[in-house]
Amino acid sequence: MVDSLEIQNFRGIDKITIKFSPLTLVFGPNGSGKTSILESIRLISTGKSDRESSSSEMISWSSDITKIKLNASSMDFSEVLLTLTKGHLEFGGILKKTPKKRLLVDGIPKRPTDFVGGLPTVIFSPDDMDYFSKGPSVRRDAADSVLSQISSGYRANLSVYSKALTSRNSLLKRIREGKSKLMELDWWDDLIVKKAEVVERGRKKWVEHVNQSNTLGDSKYRLDYLESKLSMERLKECQSREIASGTTLIGPHRDDFCLHSELGGQMRMLEKFGSRGQQRMGVLWLKSREIDFLRSFNKQPILLLDDIMSELDDEHREVVLGFTQSLQTIVTTSETFVLGMFEGKSNIVNLS
């Protein structure tokens, strides 16, 4: 369980210390730092921000360094300290180069990516509706986030694949311009095919687990994996087109996921045929499966609910509240009626 969190110079937060209980409600107006508190926890948990920001953008404009310290009990660690800088700090009037991101786990340095999975989290926020509106990359990131929390092998292979893909795309452009030879592709082709196999297996495993329980409330769901299969044979078939375009046209970076729900007596794509309320319920089903997936690997995630309760109707709120019975949960809200829902049942942190 997370016991406390200390934040200095993160986003708009100058300094704050928060004590947590099994259920904690963070209440305050918009702009008071509620989302930043959850973001800081996710930053430690997943090694990156859900808001697609560089480390330097997270540091308060009036400071050159951010510190986030998290204390926990009944976990594999007691204290995590994450430090962010802009790549340099002033010592005695002299600018010295510093790591942009540094993590200490019980005083021992670790790469942030190596700690992923040490503090498993599941977050549900209004931004999760981007699952339908912002294209395949958001859906791939959602799957990769949960898979990375249970498998360092998956995380490492995905990282190598992404870096190799960038290098291969640069090589394709050079071949097109006559600056490199076609045979130079062989090494990169072999590498991305091997790494892609691991990524594809992981994503298939995720979808298989998700579909093992296809109901939430009275609704039925199904998640499909739309795989862009990568093989040496397919790369050869696409080679001339890839050189012409200067980019790799097939592979896990082109995968997609499609969420279906039973609408009008048959399974239909929620992205095209579901109302916003039906889409929200579909995302909630996915979150419930994410919790179950992490638990199947003996990981007890912390549930982060970012200003979501006011977005849900009574039925959906009851579903979410059911999750809080067995998981440490941190809820943020700016709505007084949500404050009333949790009063007497949770530790309340008032930022107003």
* Per-residue model confidence (pLDDT) at position 314: 85
Confidence at residue 312, expressed as pLDDT on a 0 to 100 scale: 83
- 243 has a pLDDT exceeding 80: yes
Q: Where in the chain are the domains?
A: 1-120+300-352, 131-299
Give the predicted TM-score (pTM) of the model. Answer: 0.93
92-140 residue pLDDT tens: 777 888 889 999 999 999 999 999 999 999 999 988 888 888 889 999 9
Across the beta sheet with 302-306, what order do the strands follow? Answer: 121-124, 302-306, 329-333, 23-27, 347-350
Q: What is the pLDDT of residue 204?
A: 98
Amino acid at 320: V
Domains 1-120+300-352 and 131-299 share a fold: no
The predicted-structure confidence for 21-51, as pLDDT tens digits, reads as follows 999 999 999 999 999 999 999 999 999 888 7
Chain mean pLDDT for the chain: 93
> What digits encode the pLDDT tens for the residues 162-216?
999 999 999 999 999 999 999 999 999 999 999 999 999 999 999 999 999 999 9
Instruction: State pLDDT tens for residues 41-93.
Output: 999 999 988 876 688 889 998 899 999 999 999 899 999 999 999 888 877 77
Question: Quick one: what percent of the chain has pLDDT higher than 70?
Answer: 99
Distance CA 306, CA 27 (A): 11
| Region of 235 on the Ramachandran plot (φ > 0 left; ψ -120 to 50 alpha; else beta) | alpha
| Domain at 1-120+300-352: CATH architecture | 3-Layer(aba) Sandwich (3.40)
Q: Return the percentage of the chain with pLDDT > 90, whole number.
A: 77
**Residues 308-330, mean pLDDT to the nearest whole number:** 88
> Is 224 a residue whose pLDDT tops 70?
yes
Helix (H) or strand (E) holding 201: helix 185-210
What's the fold here for domain 131-299? Glutathione S-transferase Yfyf (Class Pi); Chain A, domain 2 (1.20.1050)
Q: What are phi and psi of 271, to 5 degrees?
A: -60, -35
- State the average pLDDT over residues 211-233: 95
pLDDT attached to residue 27: 95
Q: Is the pLDDT of residue 1 over 70?
A: yes
What's the pLDDT at 17?
97
Amino acid identity at 174:
R
More confident residue, 320 or 191: 191
